[in-house]
Amino acid sequence: MSGTDETGTSRRAFLGAGLAAGGAVATTGLARAQDADPLITEVQDWASAFGDPVDATPYGMPIHYESHVVRRNVEWLTESPVSSINFTPIHALEGTITPQGCAFERHHSGAIELAKQDYRLMISGLVERPLVFTYEDLTRFPRTITTAFCECAANGGMEWGGAQLEGCQFTQGMIHNMEYTGVPLRLLLEEAGVKPEGKWVYAEGADASSNGRSMPLEKAMDDVLVAFFANGEALRKEHGYPVRLVVPGFEGNMWVKWLRRIGVYDRAVESREETSKYTDLMPDGRARKWTWVMDAKSVITSPSPQAPIRHGKGPLVITGLAWSGHGKVARVDVSLDGGVNWVEARLTGDVKSKALTRFHLDLDWDGSEMFLQSRAVDETGYVQPTKNQLREIRGLNNVYHNNGIQTWWVRADGEVENVEIA
């Protein structure tokens, strides 16, 4: 499917706004067997010699053609690269699982190197038996598997004032979604024995920043994981090797990496540097605090500014991601005209609670400009708001928790820009 589309692409009659029923479009008219194509008719170099032997790369990397699919940062965003953030290339990924190697990183004092044999986890505070676990101790508790998205509360934060950064990697890429294996925090707390006065669980990391955060005991006893595997392999250093906290649905900041201490208290305790951060300043000067749960959100990942349409009009696959910290995504609607008309997209593959959900919409694009938007609805009935709806409630002093609808202006030439329409 390359080059001009006159020869093969059949125009079909389409519904309403030019939308096709899912899956029907791409079955006809795309292959062009009538063109003599040397890639088919000639013997190629790669078929004339041996390829690499099996042990050429004991641990494989993506083929070099994909070397643009990498984390990127925005240098002016933070003062120093050790207290900084980079962004997942969500415009170039498919499915729902984020490979660790390109999953965004957020460190307050850099990614540390902590060997398993030096690893210790202490449980202290309002418990019957204060405990210290080695890494090996943790591996002897019953395990569970959870797929969950981790979204930094600052994701989309630069967009509060208006469309700013070109590319959904930069506007929405502070998110990743992995399959974790670990021990439910509940089992470790039960081992230590939480005293009746214990109402809050404080977690801190072994890095200099410690990133200490508190969560209600109910959450800690619910679905929080002390995780040591991600996507089937050990956590990467930058994601907290050897052990991190997985806190499904909660903002990324609660997902303490290089987890070293769990304290049970009767009140919320915050570490030295986090006290006033991660609160949302309201127009009247008050702040929203403890806004841990990430509200439903979605974004079209392709087409998008870094993923323009190169193949011209005709069949076009629109795809994106949707998620909710409150449970499952129930529906995703897509608009081609900036939110006037909406059609329901397909939720493709398994829909998991508090995990990224992939959606697709198969379109017969007539080549005219579009103002693409997506809107997630979660199982609680919550509907992703527009940015203006959010601003009406929260004003413009915010950095965190911008889950407003993103607009991509797709021009007739297929280029895409980050815009905002009233």
Ligand X SMILES: Nc1nc2c(c(=O)[nH]1)N[C@H]1C(S)=C(S)[C@@H](COP(=O)(O)O)O[C@H]1N2
Enumerate binding residues for Mo ion (CB under 5 A): 106, 152, 252-253
Q: Among residues 71, 108, 219, 375, which is the contact residue for ligand X, using CB under 6 A?
A: 108
Q: Among residues 97, 102, 152, 246, which is the contact residue for ligand X, using CB under 6 A?
A: 152
- Residues 311 and 378: their CA atoms lie apart, in Å, by 33
Q: Residue 255 binds what, of ligand X, Mo ion, none (CB under 5 to 8 Å, by partner type)? A: ligand X
- Residues 67 and 161: their CA atoms lie apart, in Å, by 32
Q: Minimum Å distance from CB 157 to Mo ion?
A: 10
Q: Residue 256 binds what, of Mo ion, ligand X, none (CB under 5 to 8 Å, by partner type)? A: ligand X
Q: What angle do CA 292, 297, 298 make, to 5 degrees?
A: 150
Measured from the CB atom, the residue of 98 and 324 that comes closer to ligand X is 98
Between residue 190 and residue 219, which ones bind ligand X under the rule CB under 6 A?
205, 207, 209, 211
CB 204 within 8 A of CB 211: yes
Q: Where does this chain touch ligand X (CB under 6 A) — which range of 106-114, 117-125, 353-361, 379-387?
A: 106-114
Measured from the CB atom, the residue of 204 and 362 that comes closer to ligand X is 204
Q: Minimum Å distance from CB 349 to ligand X?
A: 23
Question: Is residue 150 a contact residue for ligand X (CB under 6 A)?
Answer: yes
CB 374 within 8 A of CB 345: yes
Question: Is residue 384 a contact residue for ligand X (CB under 6 A)?
Answer: no
Between residue 50 and residue 79, which ones bind ligand X under the rule CB under 6 A?
none
Measured from the CB atom, the residue of 255 and 408 that comes closer to ligand X is 255
Measured from the CB atom, the residue of 106 and 360 that comes closer to Mo ion is 106
Measured from the CB atom, the residue of 26 and 82 that comes closer to Mo ion is 82
Residue-by-residue DSSP string for 136-173: HHHTTS--EEEEEEEE-TTTTGGGTTS--SSSHHHHH-
Measured from the CB atom, the residue of 9 and 253 that comes closer to Mo ion is 253
Measured from the CB atom, the residue of 256 and 329 that comes closer to ligand X is 256
Binding mask 317-356 for ligand X (x = CB under 6 A): ----------------------------------------
Question: Is residue 107 a contact residue for ligand X (CB under 6 A)?
Answer: yes
Number of residues that make up the chain:
422
Q: Residue 202 binds what, of Mo ion, ligand X, none (CB under 5 to 8 Å, by partner type)? A: none
Measured from the CB atom, the residue of 253 and 335 that comes closer to Mo ion is 253
Q: Minimum Å distance from CB 89 to Mo ion?
A: 18
Tell me the residue nearest to ligand X as measured from the CB. 205
Q: Among residues 253, 298, 384, 403, which is the contact residue for ligand X, using CB under 6 A?
A: 253
Binding stretches for ligand X (CB under 6 A): 103-108, 150, 152, 176, 205, 207, 209, 211, 238-239, 252-253, 255-258
